[in-house]
Amino acid sequence: MSRGAAANNQLGRVNDRFQLLFRVFDRADQELPGCHGHVHHGLGHRGEAQAVGGFFQNELPYDAPNQAAWQHDGVLGWAGYKIADSVTTHELWGGGSYVYNNVDPTIHATRGFEVPVTPGVKLHSLLTVNLGAGTLDHVINDTGAPVSTDAVGVPSYVPSFP
C-alpha cells in the first residue's frame, strides 16, 4: 500500500467488522465507520496497525509541515484513533497515542482518540505520551490532561471513557 500523502484511510471488512490498516498525516490515523468493533490488540508505527498481542498504539505523523496544514473543521491535528459519529457500538481495551512532530514542534493535536459519546461506545485504559516534540491537548475527546515537551515521556491516562 502506498504511504503517499494522497492516500486515504484503508479499512478491511471481515464478517461485518472492520480491521485497521494505515493512514497519512492529512486524515485520522485509524477511523472506523462501522458498528460492533472490538480492538484488543495492535501495534502501530506511524499509523500502521498490526496485531501483535499488546494493545492499539500509534504515533501521530512526524511530518505534518505546520499547524495550518494539520487541522480540520476547527480541530487542531487529527486523532490517532477515530470512531465515526454514526457508530453506536464499539469497544477498545488498551490504547496509546504518541506525539512527535519533529518537522514543526509547535504543532498541537486536540486529541489522541475521538469517539461519539454514546452508551455502546466504550474505551478502557487509554494514554497519550509526548516523545519530544509537539503537544496532544487531550487523551480522548475533551478528556485527559495534555502531554507536551514540559514532561517528555510522562503519560496522561484515562482509565475508562465515558
| Active-site residue list | 59
Q: What is the pLDDT, as a whole number, of residue 41?
A: 42
pLDDT at 136 over 90: yes
* Residue where the block lists cell 475521538: 114
pLDDT digits 0-9 by tens, 31-85? 454 444 444 444 333 333 333 334 678 888 888 899 999 999 999 999 988 888 8
Mean pLDDT of 13-39: 44
pLDDT at 13 over 80: no
What is the structure's pLDDT at 156?
98
Instruction: Say how many CA atoms lie within 13 Å of 80 toward its Cβ.
Output: 34
CB 110 within 8 A of CB 75: yes
Query: Poorest-confidence range of 35-44, 76-85, 112-121, 149-158?
Result: 35-44
Mapping DSSP to helix (H, G, I), strand (E, B) and coil, where does residue 101 land? Answer: coil
Q: Are 86 and 118 in contact (CB under 8 A)?
A: no
pLDDT of residue 116 exceeding 80: yes
Check pLDDT > 80 for residue 125: yes
Residue 89 has pLDDT above 70, yes or no: yes
What SS3 state is found at 140? strand
* Domain range summary for the chain, segments of one domain joined by +: 36-161
| Whole-number Å distance between alpha carbons of 128 and 102 | 17
